[in-house]
């Protein structure tokens, strides 16, 4: 079987990939993630996933590289990782009663052949109406300051939603596993 490398330093993506019980290594890509002028959220995550894969391929020239990127979008505006409590409160306040769309890209890059498969998977998070007390309590309990959208759906963040909508719950956490299995199958890696 081909050597697999996850091009990410995210413990969440690593935990998702471990579900497939395939051996893999991780390698953190070092790329500029600044959006380009007039780039849509979907174009941004596709470009960044490919750039991450290409960066990791330099160190792993015969491997299959798995990379991903994700943005949270509300009312056409990209929400990044909040970074601090005040920004997290603002993001969740804006999300309250609204639907936030997450665009998660996935790239399977064959470093040996220099070919790739690349998709963007949407996921929709329907927030319930949140009081300022609920928002502050949530942030204090889970501290989601390094998470796009200011929540962890795999944790207490689930209490913030009315409904989740998408093909694969792993997509929201950062790695579309159903699509990855399809891509690996095309490379003759059968799971299970």
Contact in structure between 106 and 179 (CB atoms under 8 Å):
yes
Catalytic residue among 69, 110, 140, 167: 69
61 pLDDT more than 90: yes
Express each pLDDT in 131-151 by its tens digit: 999 999 999 999 999 888 999
Rounded to two decimals, what is the model's pTM? 0.92
State how far the Cα of 158 lies from the Cα of 169, in Å rounded to an integer. Answer: 12
pLDDT at 110: 98
Q: Please name the helix (run of DSSP H) or strand (run of DSSP E) that holds residue 73, with its range, or none.
A: strand 64-74
Place 79 in a pLDDT band, splitting at 50, 70 and 90: confident
pLDDT at 80: 82
pLDDT at 148: 84
- Burial of residue 4 (number of CB atoms within 10 Å: 0-12, 13-18, 19+): buried
Taking the CA atoms of 169, 173, 174 and 175 in sequence, report the sign of the dihedral they define.
negative
State how far the Cα of 192 lies from the Cα of 189, in Å rounded to an integer. Answer: 9
114 pLDDT more than 90: yes
- Whether 69 is a known active-site residue: answer yes
Contact in structure between 149 and 102 (CB atoms under 8 Å):
yes
State how far the Cα of 6 lies from the Cα of 26, in Å rounded to an integer. Answer: 5
CATH number of 4-186: 3.90.950.10
What percentage of the chain reaches a pLDDT higher than 70? 100
Q: What is the DSSP letter of 51?
A: H
Contact in structure between 166 and 174 (CB atoms under 8 Å):
no
Q: Which residues of 31-52 are buried (b: 16+ CB within 10 A; e: fewer)?
A: beeeeeeeebbeebbbbbbbbb
Task: Record the tokens describing residue 180, joined without a space.
Answer: 């990855």
Residue holding tokens 């005040």? 86
Residues paired with residue 72 on neighbouring β-strands, in sequence order:
79, 102
pLDDT at 101: 97
- Rounded to an integer, the average pLDDT of 164-183 is 96
Q: Please name the helix (run of DSSP H) or strand (run of DSSP E) that holds residue 97, with its range, or none.
A: none
Residue spans per domain, the chain: 4-186
Q: Which alpha helices (H) appear in the chain, and where do they start and end?
A: 11-18, 41-57, 85-95, 132-142, 169-173, 177-186
């Amino acid at each position: 079987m081909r050597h697999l490398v996850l091009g990410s330093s995210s413990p969440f993506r690593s935990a998702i990939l471990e579900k497939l019980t395939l051996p893999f290594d991780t390698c953190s890509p070092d790329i500029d993630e600044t959006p380009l002028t007039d780039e849509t959220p979907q174009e941004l995550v596709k470009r960044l996933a490919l750039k991450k894969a290409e960066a990791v391929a330099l160190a792993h020239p015969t491997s299959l590289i798995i990379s991903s990127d994700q943005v949270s979008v509300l009312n056409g505006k990209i929400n990044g990782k909040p970074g601090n409590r005040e920004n997290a409160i603002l993001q969740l306040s804006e999300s309250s009663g609204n639907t936030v769309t997450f665009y998660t890209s996935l790239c399977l890059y064959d470093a040996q052949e220099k070919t790739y498969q690349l998709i963007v998977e949407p996921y929709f998070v329907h927030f319930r109406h949140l009081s300022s007390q609920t928002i502050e309590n949530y942030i204090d309990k889970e501290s989601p300051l390094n998470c796009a959208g200011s929540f962890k759906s795999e944790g207490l963040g689930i209490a913030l939603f009315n409904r989740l909508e998408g093909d694969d719950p792993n997509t929201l956490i950062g790695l579309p596993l159903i699509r990855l299995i399809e891509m690996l199958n095309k490379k003759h890696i059968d799971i299970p």
